[in-house]
């Protein structure tokens, strides 16, 4: 059985673009085997693992990661791509990638015009992803086709996990493989007081899709998303812009949504938020309260499922989110496991 850190490394390094989460769901199904009363996989590839009986707590973590998709292969074998999820174009130049074809993985590199050949004016501008391409070393479209390359094949950035000082780990897709690892760990460790449904969801990054249909199927009494949240305790961000810090414990969400209005997000009811705070305090788990402008999680659609579900979010603070080198503290991950364990072992506030 993998340790929590080994599990995070395995999940982080595996490929799983939105719509192509099969490698991730294979790892999860193997890890949770024997640790749930019932495991189902729905038509969209969401995994629903239930354990215990009574009122239903649905806890969601998404399996997908930001990535790319083959859009076009030109006559010289160069690949143009679309983006799947929120990726800043300036991260892409020079990235090594793997394209997953029906004949197996094909390595490539993201190329663009070298700065040496740019005008002084163009050098100062950001290069858009539409000015980039993937070089797989093929000399023609036919050669690319012979490798199995087809329009729509998923492309994942290659990145191993590395460890930084003080228990920090750095890797791709920690958003939200860390959440998946936490849910797996809770299934392994805990006998729930109520009925736990651990939902490993698909396509969160492109519209919260897996959680939408899973919440309908599960019809929970209480919902929770476990995801990564923005830690910005680093240069070039003022404290009020990004107050969440690595190593200071789980972030309990008060509200999130679009910048300026928080529309399209979640306002967590005080009943759920205060209950999470009470559980953290009873167990001596450090925590941070969060208002996040600029995004949302699976919790938003869980809250709006059927006639409404009281829903909250617990986040693992993460620096450099939606880059391919996200950084989390193992201490925070362990504390989120403890808080989610407390949730699953507690009487519900609903
Ligand atoms: Zn996420």
User: 350 lies in a domain?
Assistant: no
Place of tokens 């414990």: 249
Residue 297, sorted as left (phi over 0), alpha (psi -120 to 50) or beta, turns out to be: beta
Alpha carbons within 13 A on the beta-carbon side of 86: 10
Distance of CA 54 to the CA centre of its chain: 29
- Of 16, 349, 344, nearest in space to 210 by CA: 16
Contact 239, 232 (CB under 8 A): no
Percent of the chain with pLDDT over 70: 100
- Please check whether residues 133 and 14 belong to one and the same domain: no
- 267 CB neighbour count, 10 Å cutoff: 15
Give the structural domain span for 85. 67-157
Q: Is 10 helix (H, G, I), strand (E, B) or coil?
A: helix
What pLDDT does 1 receive? 58
Distance 63 CA to ligand 1 centre (A): 9
Put simply, whether the predicted model's pTM sits higher than 0.85 gets the answer: yes
Residues measured by CB to lie within 5 Å of ligand 1, the ion: 175-176, 227
What radius of gyration, in Å, describes the C-alpha atoms of the chain?
21
- Please check whether residues 142 and 286 belong to one and the same domain: no
- The DSSP annotation for 170-206 comes to EETTHHHHHHHHHHHHHHHH---SSEEEEEEES--TT
What pLDDT does 2 receive? 74
User: 313 lies in a domain?
Assistant: yes
Alpha helix positions (H), 207-269 = 209-218
Q: Say which CATH number the domain at 257 has.
A: 3.40.630.10
User: 34 lies in a domain?
Assistant: yes
- Of 288, 68, 297, 84, nearest in space to 176 by CA: 297
Q: Is 208 helix (H, G, I), strand (E, B) or coil?
A: coil
Tally the domains of the chain: 2
Alpha carbons within 13 A on the beta-carbon side of 213: 16
204 noted as active-site residue = yes
Q: Is 86 helix (H, G, I), strand (E, B) or coil?
A: coil
Q: What spatial distance separates the first Cα and last Cα of the chain, rounded to whole Å?
A: 35
* Catalytic one of 21, 185, 204, 205: 204
- Please check whether residues 210 and 308 belong to one and the same domain: yes
User: 233 lies in a domain?
Assistant: yes
Per-residue pLDDT of the chain (350 residues), as tens digits, is: 579 999 999 999 999 999 999 999 999 999 999 999 999 999 999 999 999 999 999 999 999 999 999 999 999 999 999 999 999 999 999 999 999 999 999 999 999 999 999 999 999 999 999 999 999 999 999 999 999 999 999 999 999 999 999 999 999 999 999 999 999 999 999 999 999 999 999 999 999 999 999 999 999 999 999 999 999 999 999 999 999 999 999 999 999 999 999 999 999 989 999 999 999 999 999 999 999 999 999 999 999 999 999 999 999 999 999 999 999 999 999 999 999 999 999 999 99
Distance 22 CA to ligand 1 centre (A): 18
Q: Say which CATH number the domain at 119 has.
A: 2.40.30.40
- Please check whether residues 60 and 83 belong to one and the same domain: no
Contact 314, 253 (CB under 8 A): yes
- Please check whether residues 100 and 232 belong to one and the same domain: no
Over the range 283-295, which residues count as b (16 or more CB within 10 Å of their CB) and which as e? eebebbebebeeb
Distance 241 CA to ligand 1 centre (A): 20
- Please check whether residues 153 and 279 belong to one and the same domain: no
User: 39 lies in a domain?
Assistant: yes
- Please check whether residues 178 and 210 belong to one and the same domain: yes
- Please check whether residues 261 and 230 belong to one and the same domain: yes
Distance 227 CA to ligand 1 centre (A): 5
- Please check whether residues 331 and 320 belong to one and the same domain: yes
Distance 253 CA to ligand 1 centre (A): 14
């Amino acid at each position: 059985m993998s340790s929590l850190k080994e599990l995070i490394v395995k999940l982080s390094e595996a490929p799983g673009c939105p719509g192509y989460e099969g490698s991730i769901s294979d790892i999860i199904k193997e890890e949770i085997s024997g640790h749930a009363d019932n495991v189902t996989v729905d038509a969209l590839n969401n995994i629903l693992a239930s354990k215990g009986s009574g009122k239903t707590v649905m806890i969601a973590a998404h399996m997908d990661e930001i990535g790319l998709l083959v859009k076009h292969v030109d006559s010289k074998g160069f690949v143009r791509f679309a983006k799947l999820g929120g990726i800043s174009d300036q991260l892409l130049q020079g990235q090594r990638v793997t394209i997953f074809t029906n004949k197996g993985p094909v390595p490539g590199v993201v190329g663009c015009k070298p700065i040496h050949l740019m005008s002084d004016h163009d050098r100062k501008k950001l290069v858009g992803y539409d000015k980039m391409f993937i070089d797989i070393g093929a000399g023609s479209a036919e050669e690319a086709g012979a490798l199995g390359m087809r329009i729509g094949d998923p492309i994942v950035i290659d990145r191993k996990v590395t460890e930084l000082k003080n228990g920090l780990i750095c890797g791709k897709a920690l958003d939200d493989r860390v959440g998946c690892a936490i849910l797996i760990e809770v299934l392994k460790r805990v006998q729930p007081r109520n009925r736990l449904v651990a939902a490993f969801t698909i396509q969160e990054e492109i519209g919260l899709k897996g959680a939408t249909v899973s919440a309908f199927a599960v019809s929970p009494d209480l919902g929770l998303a476990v995801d990564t949240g923005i830690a910005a305790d680093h240069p070039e961000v003022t404290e009020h812009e990004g107050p969440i810090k690595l190593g200071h414990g789980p972030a309990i969400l008060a509200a999130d949504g679009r910048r300026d209005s928080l529309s399209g997000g979640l306002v967590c009811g005080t009943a759920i938020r205060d209950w999470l705070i009470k559980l953290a305090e009873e167990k001596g788990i450090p925590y941070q309260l969060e208002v996040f402008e600029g995004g949302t999680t699976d919790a938003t659609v869980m809250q709006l499922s059927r006639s409404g579900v009281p829903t909250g979010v617990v986040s693992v603070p993460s620096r450099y989110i939606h880059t391919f080198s996200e950084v989390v503290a193992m201490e925070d991950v362990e504390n989120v496991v403890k808080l989610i364990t407390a949730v699953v072992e507690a009487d519900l506030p609903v």
